[in-house]
């Protein structure tokens, strides 16, 4: 009987949001909570700055090098594609994968540069075909609340103009991908936010292998 049961796959859970929304903190808490509950979990963050492509991105983000807007955009996307098979295999093997930023950040930050030949539509194209998330948890936070969290650092994009364009474009994109998105009020305490995220994630995982009712 056991042999005839198909392998239960893991979930692909994406965490998105503006800078300082608390994505990395929440991803780590979610990983720990799911591990405690007995799930197999892997946490991945984009950009993955450790690969050769990731090192180019890291240098660009630290303002240590320059790249054409389209070129850096395609590198961010390539950085996801180089992990795409790993994500697919890991999920298929029963491990839930939590991803800190994904295609949504990819499209939105590049389009926010207002380069006339880099629209949101153009920016989304290289993402088409990547593993589709079971759910995208969007951590929503007001600019005022985000500003309280340590202010902007020295990295590229950490300025008011970019952040307000990014906010607007996230709205447009999330509206289009509505089915996959769950908006989380990230302006609350770490624990309050975490409680909701864990709840949504557990429901998402349990739905993957729920047994449907017999039909007439």
**# binding residues, ligand T5A (CB under 6 A):** 22
Residue 40 or 58: the one with the smaller Cβ distance to ligand T5A is 58
| Residue 20 makes contact with ligand T5A by CB under 6 A | yes
**DSSP secondary structure string for all residues of 48-101:** -TTSHHHHHHHHHHTTSS---HHHHHHHHHHHHHHHHHHHHHHHHTT-EEEEES
Could you give the string, one character per residue 140-159, with x where binding to ligand T5A holds by CB under 6 A and - elsewhere?
---------xx------x--
Please report how close the Cβ of residue 133 comes to ligand T5A at its closest, in angstroms: 14
Please report how close the Cβ of residue 52 comes to ligand T5A at its closest, in angstroms: 16
| Residue 126 makes contact with ligand T5A by CB under 6 A | no
Residues numbered 4 to 43 that lie near Na ion (CB under 5 A) are 23-24
Spatial contact of 106 and 127, defined as CB atoms under 8 Å apart: yes
| Residue 37 makes contact with ligand T5A by CB under 6 A | no
Which is nearest to 66 in space by CA: 153, 156, 162?
156
CA pair distance 41, 34, nearest whole angstrom: 7
Where helices occur in 112-159 by DSSP H, the ranges are: 120-124, 143-148
Spatial contact of 100 and 28, defined as CB atoms under 8 Å apart: no
Please report how close the Cβ of residue 150 comes to ligand T5A at its closest, in angstroms: 5
Residues at the contact surface with ligand T5A, assessed by CB under 6 A? 17, 19-25, 46-47, 61, 76, 101, 105-106, 109, 149-150, 157, 189-190, 193
């Amino acid at each position: 009987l056991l042999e005839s049961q198909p392998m239960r796959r893991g979930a692909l859970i994406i965490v998105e949001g503006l800078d300082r929304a608390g994505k990395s903190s929440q991803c780590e808490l979610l990983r720990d909570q799911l591990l405690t509950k007995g799930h197999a979990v892997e946490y991945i963050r984009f950009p993955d700055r450790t690969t050769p492509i990731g090192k180019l991105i890291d240098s660009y983000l630290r303002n240590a090098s320059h790249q054409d807007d389209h070129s850096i955009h395609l590198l961010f996307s390539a950085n996801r594609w180089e992990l795409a098979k790993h994500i697919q295999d890991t999920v298929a093997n029963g491990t839930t994968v939590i991803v800190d930023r994904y295609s949504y950040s990819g499209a939105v930050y590049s389009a926010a540069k207002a380069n006339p030949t880099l629209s949101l539509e153009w920016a989304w194209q290289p993402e088409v075909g990547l593993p589709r998330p079971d759910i995208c948890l969007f951590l929503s936070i007001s600019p005022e609340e985000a500003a309280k969290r340590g202010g902007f650092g020295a990295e590229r994009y950490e300025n008011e103009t970019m952040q307000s364009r990014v906010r607007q474009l996230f709205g447009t994109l999330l509206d289009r991908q509505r089915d996959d998105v769950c908006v989380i009020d990230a302006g609350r305490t770490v624990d309050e936010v975490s409680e909701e995220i864990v709840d949504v994630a557990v429901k998402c995982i349990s739905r993957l292998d729920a047994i449907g009712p017999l039909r007439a």
